[in-house]
Amino acid sequence: MRSVTVLAVTSLLSLAFTAPAQAAGTVYAALGDSYSSGVGAPSQTGICLRSNHSYASRWAARNNPATFQFLACSGATTDDVRAGQIPALKSGADLISITVGGNDAGFAPTVVTCLTASDSACAAKVNQGKAYVANTLPGKLDATYAAIRAKAPGAKVIVLSYPLIFDTAAVICEMSVAKRKAINDGARVLDEMIEQRAEAAGFVYAEVRDEFSGHGVCSKSRYLNGLTIVPPQNSYHPNSSGYADGYLPALSDAV
């Protein structure tokens, strides 16, 4: 009986010591735009504004993959991912994460319009983005996902969504309720298209809206920055909590 007990304890200790190395053999690459590079969090560096507080860097630090390629870059569109990031991707990558599509759909100009113009002008700009998402973005996403699969045929690819940026219940906020609802609806439409095309490509879609629920801009517990003057690129991007408690759990669950 004692030998069985010792064996059981030894086995448990062995599991305990080997568990943190579960991704030790993984070749992980993070592709995409500013929501993957970590804009909005501290310690952004280089022209791509990569941060070690991003969800990708946090996952790598926690799971110790054999290789971590941090290729995501602020401002990247689907064309940029295909032209610059995928060619640099290791063909032996077996785990890839990506956020992309927001810049294609005009995220930055839409936010600027909604900050500076009327409710109706904001709605019109959001509708313009929705039309792009419906008519042009599907082909862009399909081409990007196909290029990823061609370069890393054995990889598990996780496509993460974007959060709904605003809390629409707050009375006082930097945008009107109408503008906040319009922008959130545009993000919802974008996410639905990303989900559709990711699943058509055989990739895993990871939804982050649940993790960010109740933590939008103007909420009491924000996971996203509001309008930020210094540095300006942080505006309407996840803060450190957003990457740690919003994106990281979504990625970890999908992995």
Instruction: Tell which residue, 62, 61, 82, 63, has the closest CA to residue 73.
Output: 82
* 237 classed as catalytic: yes
Catalytic residue among 34, 54, 219, 235: 34
Catalytic residue among 53, 215, 235, 237: 237
Q: What is the CA radius of gyration of the chain?
A: 20
Bridge partners (DSSP) listed for residue 29: 69, 96
CA 225 to chain centre: 15
Count how many Cα atoms sit within 13 Å of the Cα of residue 233 in the half-sphere of its side chain.
Answer: 20
Residues near 179 by beta carbon (within 8 Å), at least 6 away in sequence? 114, 119, 122, 123
Tell me the CA end-to-end span of the chain in Å, nearest whole number: 39
What helix, strand, coil percent values describe the chain, rounded to 5?
A: 50, 15, 35
* Cα torsion angle, 29, 33, 35, 40, sign: positive
- Catalytic residue numbers read 34, 237
